[in-house]
Structure 1
Amino acid sequence: MASKVVHLTEAGLQKIKSELEHLRSVERPAISAAIAEARDKGDLSENAEYDAAKEAQGMLEMRIAKLEEMVANARVLDESRIDTSSVQILNRVTLKNMKTGKTVEYTLVSESEANLKEGKLAIGTPIAQALLGHKKGDKVDVQVPSGMIPFEILDIAVADM
C-alpha cells in the first residue's frame, strides 16, 4: 500500500505530534494497567472487563499507527509561499451563494485539520474540490447532496493559521 502524503501546517503537525505523545505516554500505560488488573481477576473466558480493555487497546494502537503514518508522510506547507491568484490549500476563500445572497468564508485545509465550526474546510470536500484553481470573480457551481449551489468567489487570501 502506497502511503499518501499529508499536507499540514506547522501548527497542524505539532497538534498531531502532541496527541501521539499523549497516547503513547498516558493512554497506552493506562490500558496496559487495565488489562493487567482484569487479568488478575481470574478466568479470562468470562471476563468482560478483560475483553473491553483488550478492545480499547486495539483501538488505541490503530489510532497510534494512523498518527505515526501521518507524521511520517507529513509535508509541512510553507505558508510564506502561498499564492492567492487562484484557490488552493491554505487559502481563505470568501464566497457568495448566488441562490441565497449569503456570504460565507472558508479556509481550505488538510483533512486532519478540518473543523467546520472554525470555518476550516477539508481540501477533499466537494466544495473545496470545485473551488480549486478558480480565481477571484469566478462563478463556480458546486454539486452537493442537496443539489447544485452556484457560488461567486469574492476574495482569496492567505489563511491566518
Structure 2
Amino acid sequence: MTDKDIILTAEGLQELKDELTHLINNVRPQVIEELVEARAQGDLSENADYDAARNRQAEVEARIKEVEAMLSKAKIIEDSNSKNKEVKIGTSVTFTSQKTKKDMTVKIVGAIEADPFENKISNESPLAKAMLGKVVGDSMEVRELKEPYKITIKEIK
C-alpha cells in the first residue's frame, strides 16, 4: 500500500467494513477450527491439511491487515444528489462516443472500487481523467493506448 489516500464512496467504505467484519467474525474462527482439526490428525511434518490450513490462515490475516490499512487511509467522497455542475469522483456520467454514436453511463469511483462489469471506472482511468471537471455539453478527446477517441457529456448525476 502507498501512503496516499484511498478514495472511496460511502458505499465502498461500507463494503470494506462489512468485509472486515466478516473476515474477523466468520472466516478467522473457521480457519482456526480447521487448524485445530488438522493438528489433531497427528504428525505435522507430512500433514497436507495442516499446511493448507496454515496457508489459508496467512491469506486471511494478510487480507485483514490490507483492509484495515485501506480503511485507515480512506478518504470518503460524497455522492452529490444536487444538480451536478461538473464531473467529479462519485458522479455518474452519461456520454456519447462520437465514433460509435452510442450512449454509455459510468460512475467514477476510486481505484479500489472500480468494477467495469458494474460500469464503475477508476478516477485514474484515461476516460475518467478526460471527463473530470467537465460539464454537460463538453466534448473531449480520451487518450488511451490504442487510439484516441472523442466523447460528449450528455448528463451528470
TM-score, normalization by structure 1: 0.85
Q: Which residue of 2 aligns with 1:140?
A: 140
Query: Gaps spanning 5+ residues in structure 2: where?
Result: none
The alignment partner of 1:45 has SS state of: coil
Q: CA RMSD for the aligned pairs?
A: 2.1
- Deviation at 1:15? 1.7
2:67 maps to what in 1? 67
Partner of 1:43: 43
Equivalent pairs, count? 157
Counterparts of 2:82 and 2:133 in 1: how far apart (Å)? 13
> 1:44: how far off?
1.9
1:105 shift after superposition: 0.6
Single out whichever of 80-89 and 64-73 deviates more from structure 2: 80-89
The 5-angstrom pairing of residues 1-161 of structure 1 reads 3-80=3-80, 84-157=84-157
4+ residue runs of structure 1 moved beyond 6 angstroms? Answer: none
Partner SS state of residue 104, structure 1? strand
Report Cα offsets for 1:16-40 as digits up to 9, x if no partner. 1111011001100111111121122
Contact 1:95–1:105 (Cα < 8 Å) also in 2: yes
Distance 1:72 1:82, change over 3 A: farther
Structure 1 residue runs without a partner (length 5+): none
CA distance in 2, matches of 1:40, 1:156: 60
Please give the alpha-carbon distance, in whole angstroms, between the structure 1 residues aligned to 2:126 and 2:59: 29
SS in 1 for 2:117: helix
* Residue aligned with 2:148, SS: strand
Deviation (angstroms), 1:80:
4.7
Q: Confirm or deny: 8 A CA contact 1:82 1:90 kept in the other structure.
A: no
Decide whether the 8 Å contact of 1:20 with 1:68 is kept in 2: yes
State the one-letter code of the partner of 1:37.
Answer: E
Q: CA deviation at 1:145?
A: 4.3
Q: Tell me how far 1:82 sits from its aligned partner.
A: 7.2
Report SS of the residue matched to 1:15: helix
Identity %: 37
Letter aligned with residue 116 of structure 1:
P
Which range moves more in the overlay, 65-74 or 82-91? 82-91
Change in 2 beyond 3 A, CA 1:2/1:96: closer
Q: Given that residues 80 and 90 in structure 2 are in contact (C-alpha distance below 8 angstroms), is that contact kept between their aligned partners in structure 1?
A: no
